[in-house]
C-alpha cells in the first residue's frame, strides 16, 4: 500500500501548512513539496485543492469526535457535559490558526456550492453530541447541540478577530456550560 502511505503524508503536510497560513496562501505546489512528491503526483491523489482541504478538515473533525467519545467513557452526566464543553473549546483555543482554517473551508464550500459536503458530518456530530447532552439531562438536546456548534464557531471567530482580547476563554466556557445545562 504505497498509495495509502503517500496519501497520509499529503494530508499531514497539508494540515501543517493550513495551520500556519491561510487556505489561499497555501499552494498545491507547496503542499506537494512538503509531502515530498510532484504536483502531478499530488493531483493523482486529490483531484482538487478543495478536495484535499476537505479531507484534512474532516479527518480532524472525525478524530475530535472519536477522541471525545473515548474521553466520555465511564463519566457521569455532569462530567460528560463538562468534558464536551471543554473539548469544544479546545478546538478553538489549541490552535487559533486552525479555527481560521475551518472558517476558510466553510467559505470555500459555499463558494463552490459544495455545502452538501457538510451534511454527513453534521449528522454524525448532532447524533453524538445530542446524545451526550441527553445523558447529561439537558432539555431539548438536539437544539442544544446546534446551539453549541454555533456558539463554538461564533466564539472562535470573534476570538480570532479580536486577537483574544474580547473575552476570557474560561469565563465563556462557564457561560456556555450554563446554557447547555439550561
- Binding stretches for its own copies (CB under 8 A): 22, 24-25, 100, 103-104, 106-107, 109-111, 115, 118-119, 122, 140, 143, 146-147, 149-155, 157-158, 160-163, 166-167, 171-172, 175, 178-179, 182
Choose among 96, 149, 128, 119: nearest CA to 104: 96
Site for DNA in 44-73 (CB under 7 A): 44-45, 47-50
Which of DNA, its own copies, none does residue 146 bind (CB under 5 to 8 Å by kind)?
Answer: its own copies
Residue 108 · residue 53 · CB < 8 Å: yes
Instruction: Please state, in angstroms and rounded to a whole number, the distance separating the CA atoms of residues 55 and 58.
Output: 5
**Long-range contacts of 65-70, Cβ-Cβ distance < 8 Å, separation of 24 or more:** 65/124, 65/125, 65/128, 68/128, 69/128
Q: Which is nearer to its own copies, 34 or 39 (CB)?
A: 39
Residue 83 · residue 133 · CB < 8 Å: no
**CB of residue 45 vs DNA: minimum separation in angstroms?**
6
Stretch that binds DNA, among 26-34, 55-63, 120-128, 143-151 (CB under 7 A): 26-34
Amino acid at each position: 500500500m504505497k498509495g495509502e502511505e503517500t496519501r497520509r503524508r499529503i494530508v499531514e503536510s497539508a494540515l501543517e501548512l493550513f495551520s500556519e497560513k491561510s487556505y489561499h496562501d497555501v499552494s498545491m505546489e507547496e503542499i506537494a513539496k512538503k509531502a515530498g512528491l510532484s504536483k502531478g503526483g499530488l493531483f493523482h491523489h486529490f483531484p482538487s485543492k478543495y478536495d484535499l482541504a476537505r479531507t484534512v478538515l474532516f479527518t480532524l473533525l472525525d478524530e475530535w469526535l472519536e477522541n471525545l467519545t473515548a474521553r466520555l467513557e465511564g463519566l457521569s452526566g455532569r462530567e460528560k457535559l463538562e468534558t464536551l464543553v471543554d473539548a469544544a473549546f479546545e478546538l478553538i483555543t489549541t490552535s487559533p490558526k486552525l479555527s481560521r482554517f475551518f472558517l476558510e473551508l466553510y467559505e470555500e464550500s459555499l463558494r463552490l456550492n459544495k455545502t452538501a459536503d457538510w451534511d454527513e458530518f453534521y449528522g454524525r456530530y448532532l447524533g453524538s453530541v445530542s446524545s451526550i447532552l441527553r445523558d447529561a439531562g439537558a432539555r431539548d438536546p438536539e437544539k442544544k447541540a446546534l446551539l453549541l456548534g454555533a456558539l463554538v464557531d461564533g466564539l472562535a471567530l470573534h476570538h480570532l478577530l479580536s486577537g483574544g482580547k474580547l473575552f476570557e476563554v474560561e469565563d465563556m466556557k462557564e457561560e456556555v456550560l450554563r446554557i447547555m445545562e439550561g
